[in-house]
Amino acid sequence: MFKNILKGMGIGVANIIPGVSGGTLAVVFGIYDYLMEAVACFLTAPKSKKIEYIKFLLQIGAGAVIGILVFARVIEFLFANYPMQTKIAFVILILPSIPLIIKGENIRDKKNIISFVLGFVFIMLFTYATIKISGGPQEFDSVRTVFSTSYYIKLAFCGFIAIGAMIIPGISGSFLLLILGEYQNILSYINNFQIVPMIYLSIGMGLGALGFTKVINYCLKHHRSLTLFFILGIIIASLIQLLLNL
């Protein structure tokens, strides 16, 4: 139980750092498959399995919440003052565990190699297109203090998009929030315990989690090797991009 809470804390902290993926850490920690299964199959699972899923999700969820609440201010400070050192620290932590992702898989299989290349190219094109379309990350000097219905809808949409990014290894949900202009706002809501905007954000995240996890869980169950090599390509490309942006 304690190990799962610690893993959840790591995932939570990763998700609040732009450029770092919580999904990547879930893969590195060896819980990604089961996490996708627990979320995707929870509603249709038999009672005994539901209890098992609940225990696991509560442990990971509690750890993630603790990680976000405890380290949000610390990460905000480190990222603002020592961005290069913070990114390097995460890369160093992730690198040794990368071989474990495809342990026991056939690294010479042509289909697996193609899947790896596709994952690598996908994340490169995704990041390029996202920055190109948005004109780059949109940061603001002041945090929003006036709220409206349309803004709450935008927050829910941001939650939906961000959780999808957080679930897919190698794609940073925080980076997308930065591009959408809401990263500073959301970090401020967390640090200042502003409940109402966080509720709308959570609604979007809940809906996104149910949808994205079902797709990924299907791929892992029916095309495991191809999916793992695709994920590996995404992770390697993401780490390269992270280092290039130091």
Instruction: State the Cα–Cα distance between residues 54 and 38, nearest whole angstrom.
Output: 8
* Alpha-carbon separation of residue 126 from 71, 129, 160, 241 (angstroms): 28, 5, 18, 12
**pLDDT value at residue 104:** 83
Q: 13: how many CB neighbours lie within 10 A of its CB?
A: 23
* pTM for this entry: 0.65
DSSP letter string, 122-146: HHHHHHHHHHHHHTS----SS----
Instruction: State the Cα–Cα distance between residues 143 and 184, nearest whole angstrom.
Output: 7
User: Do residues 235 and 101 touch, judged by C-beta distance below 8 A?
Assistant: yes
Residue given tokens 């979320």 in the structure block: 39
Percent of the chain with pLDDT over 90: 18
Q: Which amino acid is at 219?
A: C
Least-confidence region, from 65-69, 229-233, 239-243: 239-243
Query: pLDDT tens digit string along 99-156?
Result: 877 878 898 999 999 999 998 998 788 777 766 654 554 444 455 666 788 888 888 9
Return the higher-pLDDT residue of 188 and 141.
Answer: 188
CB under 8 Å to 103, separation ≥6 — which residues? none
Query: pLDDT tens digit string along 72-105?
Result: 778 778 767 887 887 787 777 677 767 877 878 8
**pLDDT value at residue 133:** 55
Q: 153: how many CB neighbours lie within 10 A of its CB?
A: 12
Domain count, the chain: 1
* Alpha-carbon separation of residue 22 from 132, 144, 169 (angstroms): 24, 26, 7
Percent of the chain with pLDDT over 70: 85
pLDDT at 164 over 60: yes
- Please choose, from the candidates 169, 17, 37, 13, the residue with its C-alpha nearest in 3D space to the C-alpha of residue 102: 169
**pLDDT value at residue 30:** 87
Instruction: State the Cα–Cα distance between residues 45 and 47, nearest whole angstrom.
Output: 7
User: Do residues 183 and 139 touch, judged by C-beta distance below 8 A?
Assistant: yes
State in Å, rounded, how far the first CA of the chain is from the last one.
Answer: 36
Instruction: State the Cα–Cα distance between residues 58 and 28, nearest whole angstrom.
Output: 20
**pLDDT value at residue 238:** 74
Task: Give the three-class secondary structure for 97.
Answer: helix
**Left (φ > 0), alpha (ψ -120 to 50) or beta: where does 230 sit?**
alpha
Domain extent, residue 220, equals 2-244
**pLDDT value at residue 130:** 60
Residue 50's H or E segment, with its range, is helix 47-81
CB under 8 Å to 211, separation ≥6 — which residues? 164
